[in-house]
Structure 1
Amino acid sequence: MNLLFLIFSCYNLLKYRWDFAFHYSTFILGAFILVLSSLFYFSQLLNDKDEIDVKFNLKFWITTGLLLFYVGMIPLTIFSEQFDGNNEIRIVILVTLNLILYACYSIGFILCKPTKD
């Protein structure tokens, strides 16, 4: 999957000649790959025979934050042309998604901080 993304990214960079425009198709492909990887991680976590307390698992919190963020960002990016006239809704959605992402990160770092002996 990473090789596919790398090839697609290089193709887009060469096609659009390194201009400073946002490459929507590259972002969407990368987001889909990240969502699929997150779902694969959760599938492995559910099928694991050892019981893991996910509350204290930093990988769980990071993956949860990334999954929730990109599940919201994919449709927002795809339909970004519809938000041209009403940018306030787009900003509210972006801020909310960022709050969710960094809240998951913060919860993970707080719950998983190492104890000093």
Structure 2
Amino acid sequence: MILELADSVRTGVLIIAFLVSVYYWKNYKNSAQKYFPFLMLFATIVEVTGSVRLYYEKETSNFLYNVYLIISFVFLLIWFITILKRKIIPKILLFVFLAATVFSVFTESATGDLYFYMLMTGSVFILAGAFLFFKQLIETDAAVYFIKNQQFWIMSGLLVFYIGFLPFYLLVRNLDLHDYRIGLVIPLLNILLYGCFIIGFKCPSK
């Protein structure tokens, strides 16, 4: 019951984030974040489809989530190339990520579980990009106005999510822990992630 409620809240916050991204799109349609509503729409479709299949058909949607993760990681790494001044690093990260994804596709089951090498590489690279962004931010005058910085809030959400997700996923995967409190971690991280996105979409673009 608690897990179902947490998943419902997570899905609700995601839907709100999508609606907010669309409503405020006119304010940032000329910025580097202009394609984020499409990512949010895709995330919403995947999440709702996965939840419905799990609830009514008692089946997981690992293949669908793998496709979503690949697309979202590529999307974010390309976004990093757009917003970071030192573009060579995110370009290298994108190339290595694509190589790790190809490796996962040919060595892991698409339906058995999430692609491990793809997921770990993408998660680490998102953290790397976030740290590069914050380093760049504090070196500019924009750091003074970070509360109203759209990119700051999106990056903060990504940073919080993957800092929490990466060790948690490795722990659960290696120890095979089963507890309802453990099941609450991912929904909570998602709520924090999309909560930051909501704040970001409402901020002036840069």
- The TM-score normalised by the length of structure 1 is 0.84
1:46-79, Cα deviation, whole Å (9 max, x unpaired): 112x345111111000000000000000011101
1:8-31, Cα deviation, whole Å (9 max, x unpaired): 110111123x53121122211100
Alignment of 1:27-38 (within 5 A): 27-38=119-130
Structure richer in helix, relative to its length: 2
Pair 1:6 & 2:98 matched: yes
Q: Deviation of residue 42 (structure 1)?
A: 0.2
Pair 1:20 & 2:100 matched: no
% identity of equivalent residues: 24
Gaps (5+ residues) in structure 1?
Answer: none
Pair 1:80 & 2:172 matched: yes
Alignment root-mean-square deviation, CA: 1.7
Q: Deviation of residue 95 (structure 1)?
A: 1.6
Q: Deviation of residue 92 (structure 1)?
A: 1.2
> 1:110: which partner in 2?
202
Is 1:24–1:77's contact at 8 Å kept on the other side of the alignment?
Answer: no
* Secondary structure, aligned partner of 2:184: helix
1:109 to 1:19, Cα distance in 2 relative to 1, 3 A: closer
Determine the C-alpha separation between the residues in 1 that align with 2:117 and 2:142: 39
Is 2:100–2:117's contact at 8 Å kept on the other side of the alignment?
Answer: no
Q: Deviation of residue 96 (structure 1)?
A: 1.2
Is 1:28–1:77's contact at 8 Å kept on the other side of the alignment?
Answer: no
* Secondary structure, aligned partner of 1:79: helix
Q: Deviation of residue 83 (structure 1)?
A: 4.7
Q: Deviation of residue 112 (structure 1)?
A: 3.0
1:25 to 1:80, Cα distance in 2 relative to 1, 3 A: farther
One-letter identity of the residue aligned with 1:36: A
* Secondary structure, aligned partner of 2:187: helix
